[in-house]
Structure 1
């Protein structure tokens, strides 16, 4: 019998290239269609979670999220506005682990959990994926769970199953909980030239949650049924092949098309869901104007259920993109003040690595002409800030009872 078990895990959020929207099973969060994503760099964006099991007479559960603490009793499923976690989903995960683990006395521990993000919680990057993935890894490691950790994370938040892995990740749909799993397609170093830039246009809470929006789309959108067929029959396989071959032109085209059809489904929903706004449409126009300078695509955009944009660009075109962003959207600002990153060394390396002088004179004329098309004082308020990331690696799990790297104090 162990008196104390401590586990800490760090996971990064992920960005869907082929999106899932709608569930076959609401309770088990089984998606209508599979999806493919990129895991971000956890040194730039991550959720860190520490879980401790204590052998005491107390059976309460204490959860602290970004310095806000909540204590509730075993099996308490009551809902209130102050909840910092979906208790029903939490207990679904916890009970699944307890029923299939190596601990002889899994119900005999007090549970304390601390979790925090190294990025602003209102930055437009959903922390539920990285947060529930980190929680799933902690529960799995602490209890010695015998099942699949991605299934466990999915029961907390659908997209969390993809954050259980680094690199490029695929989540398959299925008929039951045991076969709707995520798995790594390609490691983080498969396409090292890939960059992901998140443009934060709005950082407020969206008016319609993804969970509610999905339900509305499933009930009312005929277009959703067609999108599911296309994704399952064509897009998943095509995306996997484009990433395998590092074919950016086809990759970018498919990322953009899937984002567009997802938002077309949102508009086909009754009443319609307006996740993108005028600023979002401005970025769409900018990306297409930039791509029109060449015969092949150099930049791709994707919008999740919100107004903020995720851009994908290879190393060889990163300087051009930053040149355009600086001169159109950040003309009156120092660019380094608009890059958000908790890892200062990565931020400095990124900024110092920019070399606009590498853009030849003829190309520079084309870019400056593009700047003139968009240049106006209004553009200066379009983008609040941006986040730069490379493709991220696997979650980091610290050794059991490693207090130094945990979020708990020395009292434990």
Structure 2
């Protein structure tokens, strides 16, 4: 599909008012996306586990205006309070998607949103947040144009979410979602995420992710700035090629249930992501001393116990501990015994693979 396919024929704005609510999960990338082109196009493909517990719930109440206005009309509440610093991002998103949602200036929107996890702490709050808003808006369009089929709805929701935050396009569905054109993946696209189309071994279908909250504060360098620093990065070309190569390697690993090789790719990808941050100009470090302490303890525990737990990192200091269902008791005990002490206020989130966003009544 192309961008033109997401522009529907003219339809009337005959619905006066309504309300729609979606709960959309975050996701954790296994193959990382870092760097993008114009219009939120990724510089390399990525693949992620969709999560369950880490999610954003968004309600949009809409009311038709007496006339179409030159500006977007909306109020925004985050966790029950006005959040003026969020409004410019929503304004930018509306400008990007107006071509595909032409009703936006015909309504006033009240957007109420909340997270089940700390905002701006490296748990991809933009992914869950922007995907939830995209789904709500597309649901409004479906109310205005009921002929939209389910497959088109999912693709367009992912397409719209991408225009708000790149990784948000991977939060519409689950449990494994790939985004970015890749010659080895049928149906892959730079415009939206797709459910991973190949066979996946049962061991990877109920994976757990415990997120260790090393630092719940806002990152000193945003992901948007970090992506921009990949332009002219001395190692960018090789990194983008590496992502394609790792996606090829991952296919037989996922099919055969090769957890040992899975660990090698996932941890290497996490460290490469942060390596690109540390070698950009200007360079920066998002990991904290406790991040490194946790990684070293994971390595020591895995070596001694022959466990199959591993770590990954997003663009932040927090550590995602990934492990199979059949090891959860042992890993939970290890986390309590050795890792919780390195979390801010001893806080962590137990999560697992999920199956995408849900509309709430």
CA distance in 2 between counterparts of 1:179 and 1:275 reads 27
CA 1:106 to 1:249, structure 2 compared with 1: closer, same or farther past 3 Å? same
Residues 253, 297 of structure 1: 8 Å contact kept: no
* Partner of residue 19 from structure 1, selected from 7, 32, 53: 32
CA distance in 1 between counterparts of 2:311 and 2:343 reads 19
CA distance in 1 between counterparts of 2:225 and 2:93 reads 19
Cα offset, 1:56, TM superposition:
3.3
Cα offset, 1:267, TM superposition:
1.7
TM-score (norm 1): 0.72
SS at match of 1:8: strand
Cα offset, 1:326, TM superposition:
2.2
Residues 20, 35 of structure 1: 8 Å contact kept: yes
Residue in structure 1 matched with residue 116 of structure 2 by the alignment: 118
Residue in structure 2 matched with residue 96 of structure 1 by the alignment: 99
1:151-170 alignment runs, 5 A limit: 151-170=159-178
CA distance in 1 between counterparts of 2:224 and 2:48 reads 19
Summarize deviations over 1:236-277 as a string: whole Å, max 9, x none: 122233223322111111100111112221222123221112
Residue in structure 2 matched with residue 339 of structure 1 by the alignment: none
Cα offset, 1:18, TM superposition:
0.6
Cα offset, 1:20, TM superposition:
0.3
SS at match of 1:323: helix
Residue in structure 2 matched with residue 50 of structure 1 by the alignment: 59
Residues 122, 314 of structure 2: 8 Å contact kept: no
CA distance in 1 between counterparts of 2:121 and 2:200 reads 24
Residues 321-330 or 383-392, more deviating: 321-330
1:385 corresponds to 2:347: yes
Cα offset, 1:83, TM superposition:
4.0
RMSD: 2.6
Cα offset, 1:302, TM superposition:
0.8
1:218 corresponds to 2:231: yes
Cα offset, 1:385, TM superposition:
1.3
CA distance in 1 between counterparts of 2:80 and 2:200 reads 32
Cα offset, 1:93, TM superposition:
4.5
Computing the radius of gyration over CA atoms, which structure comes out larger, 1 or 2? 1
Cα offset, 1:38, TM superposition:
0.6
1:108 corresponds to 2:115: no
1:223-234 alignment runs, 5 A limit: 223-232=235-244, 234=245
1:224-303 alignment runs, 5 A limit: 224-232=236-244, 234-293=245-304, 298-303=308-313
1:65 corresponds to 2:115: no
CA distance in 2 between counterparts of 1:269 and 1:120 reads 27
Residues 180, 193 of structure 2: 8 Å contact kept: yes
CA distance in 2 between counterparts of 1:205 and 1:106 reads 31
Residue ranges of structure 2 left out of the alignment (5+ in a row): 1-13, 183-188
Residue in structure 2 matched with residue 135 of structure 1 by the alignment: 133
CA distance in 2 between counterparts of 1:85 and 1:312 reads 35
CA distance in 2 between counterparts of 1:382 and 1:86 reads 28
SS at match of 2:227: helix
CA distance in 2 between counterparts of 1:206 and 1:55 reads 38
Residue in structure 2 matched with residue 102 of structure 1 by the alignment: none
Residue in structure 2 matched with residue 326 of structure 1 by the alignment: 336
Equivalent residue pairs, number: 326
Residues 213, 343 of structure 2: 8 Å contact kept: no
Cα offset, 1:320, TM superposition:
2.2
TM-score (norm 2): 0.82
1:304-315 alignment runs, 5 A limit: 304-315=314-325
CA distance in 1 between counterparts of 2:206 and 2:62 reads 42
* Partner of residue 40 from structure 2, selected from 19, 29, 35: 29
Cα offset, 1:192, TM superposition:
4.0
SS at match of 1:89: helix
CA distance in 1 between counterparts of 2:281 and 2:190 reads 32
CA distance in 1 between counterparts of 2:93 and 2:278 reads 32
Residue ranges of structure 1 left out of the alignment (5+ in a row): 71-80, 100-104, 331-378, 399-404, 406-412
Residues 379-388 or 6-15, more deviating: 379-388
CA 1:380 to 1:173, structure 2 compared with 1: closer, same or farther past 3 Å? closer
CA distance in 2 between counterparts of 1:214 and 1:90 reads 18
CA distance in 2 between counterparts of 1:133 and 1:382 reads 28
